[in-house]
C-alpha cells in the first residue's frame, strides 16, 4: 500500500465514524422525543449542536488524513 491509499483509509474511517455518531444521535433523539414530546424543541436543539460538533471533528480528521 502506498501513502495515498493510507490517506484514503483514514478519510474513509473519519467519514464512517461521523456517520455512525450522527446516526446514534438521531436515533437517541427520536426515542427521547417519543418518550417526552413536550421537550422536543430542547432535544432537537441539543441534537443539532452535537451533530455540528461531530461534523466539525470529522471534517478536521478528513483534512488531516488528506494532508498526511
Report the CATH number that the domain containing residue 39 is assigned in CATH: 1.20.20.10
Q: Can you give the pLDDT of all 68 residues of the chain as single tens digits?
A: 556 678 888 888 889 999 999 999 999 999 999 999 999 999 999 999 999 999 999 999 888 888 87
Range of the domain at 21: 3-67
Q: How far apart are the first and last CA of the chain?
A: 15
Nearest one of 7, 42, 43, 41 to 25, comparing CA atoms: 43
- If one counts the domains in the chain, the total is 1
- Residue that has been written with the C-alpha cell 461531530 in this structure: 54
Rounded-to-integer distance, Cα 68 and Cα 57, Å: 16
Per-residue cell: 52: 455540528
- Residue that has been written with the C-alpha cell 502506498 in this structure: 2
Amino acid at each position: 500500500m502506498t501513502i495515498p491509499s493510507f490517506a484514503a483509509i483514514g478519510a474513509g474511517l473519519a467519514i464512517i465514524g461521523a456517520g455512525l455518531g450522527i446516526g446514534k444521535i438521531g436515533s437517541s433523539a427520536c426515542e427521547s422525543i417519543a418518550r417526552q414530546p413536550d421537550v422536543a424543541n430542547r432535544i432537537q436543539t441539543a441534537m443539532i449542536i452535537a451533530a455540528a460538533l461531530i461534523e466539525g471533528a470529522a471534517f478536521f480528521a478528513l483534512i488531516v488524513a488528506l494532508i498526511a
